[in-house]
Amino acid sequence: MESQFDLSFFQSKLKTHWIGQNVQYFKELQSTNTYAKKASPDEVQQGTVCITDHQTKGRGQYERNWESEKAKNLTFSLVFRPQESGRFHVLTLGCALAIVEYLNHFLDEHCAYIKWPNDVMLNDKKVAGLLAETVFSGNKLDRLIIGIGLNVNQQNFSPELSDKATSIFLEKGGPVKRELFLSDLLSRIEYKYNLWHRQQPSLIKSINRNIEGYGQWIKLVVDDILLDDTYKLLGVDETGKLLLLNHEGGIESFSYEQIRLLVD
Ligand code: BTN
């Protein structure tokens, strides 16, 4: 049984100061990220949340599609309009961290972590993915959009995904009220945003502690080529670049699109 996202219930539970105070709900939309990118600047202020129950052309990282069963999950985009135009990846990772911490709290278990670059894993299966996109007006950043697809109540995945994807329902063994989950999650994201805005080093430390492979020697795929050597994962720096130690003792840094990590 599918039931539509209850917007007024969600709004009655929302305790944030600004994220989600402007919310745009659509029964069906091609993609919340595409909508948020194309909307006029006055439709999407700082903290606007665009959410839909059914994405017909949901987009994922690396030009992939994002499939999500109708009215079961959370598919939404957050719009940020910061003054500065750098460090985006840290904010995206901050949102991923908020999801990880909330899942660990919600399930009362240390079972979630970030998989580089933008996945959230639950008991070693993907439960959420994030897609960050920017809109510039000339040289000036107009908005940053962080799209989040979070599998909440979906119980069946396509054969290609069934051993790689999961949902909160499957791990908890029961249904989850999406409106409550989202309202609490947005409070946590708002808190992380404030840390990001104030450039608090504690944010980077918490991100790193929750990234798969942190402190381990791992294999790398750079621009689709598997490197022979192993590297020690030192985590992200304050600009969002990934730092890796090579066997000669040198530190190499990579932008997030460039690199995939293979962790045993
Ligand atoms: C990934 O893991 O590949 C990222 C998936 C991002 C999916 C979300 S769902 C809401 C928003 N709208 C989209 O079209 N994509 C993002």
Q: What is the pLDDT of residues 128-162, one digit of tens each?
A: 999 999 999 998 999 999 999 999 999 999 999 99
Atom of ligand 1 minimally distant from the CA of 34? 14
Protein residue closest via CA to atom 7 of ligand 1: 149
- 262 alpha carbon, distance to own chain's centre: 20
pLDDT at 74 over 90: yes
47 in contact with ligand 1, CB cutoff 6 A: no
**How many whole angstroms from 57 Cα to the centroid of ligand 1?**
10
pLDDT of amino acid 2: 66
pLDDT band for 255, please (50, 70, 90 cuts): confident
Protein residue closest via CA to atom 3 of ligand 1: 60
The rounded distance, in Å, linking the Cα atoms of 112 and 198 is 26
17 in contact with ligand 1, CB cutoff 6 A: no
The rounded distance, in Å, linking the Cα atoms of 114 and 103 is 12
**Which residue, among 197, 184, 191, 99, has the nearest Cα to 144 in the 3D structure?**
197
HSE, side-chain direction, 13 A CA sphere, residue 162: 5
Mean pLDDT of 8-23: 98
pLDDT at 78 over 80: yes
Mean pLDDT of 23-31: 98
Q: Report the chain's terminal Cα–Cα distance, integer Å.
A: 39
Q: What is the DSSP letter of 152?
A: S
pLDDT band for 224, please (50, 70, 90 cuts): confident
**How many whole angstroms from 143 Cα to the centroid of ligand 1?**
17
